[in-house]
Amino acid sequence: MKKILIFVSNGFESLELSPFIDVFGWNNIVGNKKVFPTICAIHDEIYATWNLKIIPEVNLSSVSLDLDEYDSLIIPGGFGKAGYFNDIQSEILKSLLNHFILNKKIVIGICTGALAIGIHGFLKDISATTYLLDNKRYFKQLEKYGANSLEKDIVISNNIITSSGPSTAIQVAFYLLETLTDRANCIVVKKNMGFFK
């Protein structure tokens, strides 16, 4: 059995969270049934940019997890105007990143989730991408954090994966599924989700 941890911040982008829930949910119905996601946050309730409220399974402000049980950390991006950049600066997230990166586990930052990795100093000399369509403002931030910024949809730098926005989240979710299981299992899940006709 493998586990993935999804750190969700206020102001998150729904379409950057939901592919991981769906892909691994489908895997646990039609796939190998051996990878389980856990949604965590630093609040009891989390509000998306687009008026969606979720209740995380774990509030890290009051509950400690055994991080050795988890194989990957996913950080969906979000919007600053909805408070996203407040949560990603937390020491709790820094501690999570420290564990996953030092133990060479997979860390994924979707869109501005890449900035969450960079803010805490974990993108120095690492190739990364982020949101592509905002006058390169976010790319300048990546460079400020010491990253080698690449204007690509998905950048894989060893165990750190970054992507450019909502449209890439499903591709990254399938990539993670294939990495944690195998290609044949990933194809079964894709077919059952209607990606192959």
Please check whether residue 15 lies inside any domain of the structure: yes
**Domain ranges, residue 34:** 2-192
For residue 194, the model assigns a pLDDT of 97
For residue 136, the model assigns a pLDDT of 83
Q: Which of 1-10, 65-74, 136-145 has the lowest mean pLDDT?
A: 136-145
> Which is higher by pLDDT, 160 or 132?
160
Please check whether residue 53 lies inside any domain of the structure: yes
The percentage of the chain sitting over the pLDDT mark of 70, rounded to a whole number, equals 99
Please check whether residue 197 lies inside any domain of the structure: no
For residue 196, the model assigns a pLDDT of 79
pLDDT for 136-179, tens place per residue?
888 999 999 999 999 999 999 999 999 999 999 999 999 999 99
For residue 28, the model assigns a pLDDT of 97
Please check whether residue 65 lies inside any domain of the structure: yes
Mean pLDDT across the stretch 54-78?
A: 97
Q: How confident is the model at residue 32 (pLDDT cuts 50, 70, 90)?
A: very high
For residue 113, the model assigns a pLDDT of 98
pTM: 0.96
Please check whether residue 133 lies inside any domain of the structure: yes
Please check whether residue 132 lies inside any domain of the structure: yes
For residue 197, the model assigns a pLDDT of 62
Q: How far is CA 95 from CA 113, 124, 125, in A?
A: 16, 17, 20
Mean pLDDT across the stretch 177-191?
A: 98
**Counted domains in the chain:** 1
Query: Which CATH number goes with the domain that contains 63?
Result: 3.40.50.880
Q: How confident is the model at residue 51 (pLDDT cuts 50, 70, 90)?
A: confident
Strands 160-163 and 154-157: antiparallel
